[in-house]
């Protein structure tokens, strides 16, 4: 294997040649057509995703009932997620043992905008019964709305008066949306697998891999397989 070649901008060759410049204007035309088809496809894909979120909603409702009967379900699932789990301090886990439900409320027709609602049983840490974070995404912009955590006296895990402390719950003060994406798109749909430890039981995909599988491999953060074996 060679070392990577230096990146070369093909346009430099084109700019010095009037004929090629003319060809390039056709290139841009074709490219615009492809982009507009791509946009249509993304729109239709988003609608498809929204349609299936609607279909899944009642099943998630059923799942919610089942999950509440399993102690520490969400704390276990969260701590088994490779990224989310690595952010949990011991104190965080104590709080998360009171996490009885996660709900993702999706905006109509937009699978990307969502409200994350984490419901807690009464606990020694904060008075909120729900911690909420809202994500509104449209084509050009994204907004995050935080709802403050009402920490009980001396129980603030994110700040000790002088300085910020390491805690998963800092995320409820921050603008970042990444963890919200992980929760909504990985943890939530694959909750049972993560609860089981996110085993790496391999599905036989043959030698060929989908684009997504390749991404996963490169990420080294492969979501667990869905197959359940009990």
Could you say which residues in the range 66-85 bind its own copies, by CB under 8 A? 66-67, 69-73, 76-77, 79-80, 82, 85
Residue located via tokens 């749909």: 189
Looking at residue 130, the DSSP 8-state letter turns out to be: E
CB nearer to its own copies: give 127 or 142. 142
CB nearer to its own copies: give 123 or 136. 136
CB nearer to its own copies: give 85 or 117. 85
Please say whether the beta carbons of 91 and 156 come within 8 A. no
Q: Which of 18, 86, 153, 202 binds its own copies (CB under 8 A)?
A: 86
Query: Considering the rule CB under 8 A, would residue 142 count as an interface residue with its own copies?
Result: yes
Rounded CA separation 171/127 (Å) = 18
Please say whether the beta carbons of 198 and 224 come within 8 A. yes
Stretch that binds its own copies, among 98-106, 117-125, 153-161, 195-203 (CB under 8 A): 195-203
Query: Considering the rule CB under 8 A, would residue 162 count as an interface residue with its own copies?
Result: no
Alpha-helical regions (H) of the chain: 10-15, 18-68, 73-80, 82-86, 90-96, 178-182, 191-195, 211-219
Number of residues lying near its own copies (CB under 8 A): 97
């Amino acid at each position: 294997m060679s070392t990577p070649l230096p990146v070369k901008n093909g346009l430099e060759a084109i700019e010095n040649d009037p004929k090629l410049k003319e060809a390039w204007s056709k290139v841009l035309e074709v490219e615009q057509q492809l982009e507009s088809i791509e946009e249509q496809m993304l729109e239709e894909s988003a609608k498809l995703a929204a349609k299936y979120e609607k279909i899944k909603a009642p099943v998630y409702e059923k799942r919610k009932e089942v999950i509440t009967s399993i102690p520490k379900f969400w704390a276990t699932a969260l701590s088994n997620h490779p990224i989310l789990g690595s952010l949990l301090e011991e104190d965080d886990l104590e709080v998360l043992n009171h996490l009885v439900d996660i709900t993702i409320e999706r905006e109509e027709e937009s699978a990307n905008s969502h409200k994350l609602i984490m419901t807690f049983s009464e606990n020694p840490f904060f008075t909120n019964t729900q911690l909420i974070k809202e994500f509104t995404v449209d084509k050009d912009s994204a907004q995050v709305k935080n709802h403050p955590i009402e920490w009980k006296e001396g129980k603030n895990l994110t700040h000790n008066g002088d300085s910020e402390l390491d805690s998963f719950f800092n995320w409820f003060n921050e603008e970042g949306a990444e963890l919200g994406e992980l929760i909504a798109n990985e943890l939530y749909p694959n909750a049972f697998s993560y609860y089981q430890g996110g085993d790496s039981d391999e599905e036989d995909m043959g030698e060929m891999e989908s684009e997504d599988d390749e991404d996963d491999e490169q990420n080294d953060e492969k979501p667990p397989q869905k197959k359940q074996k009990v």
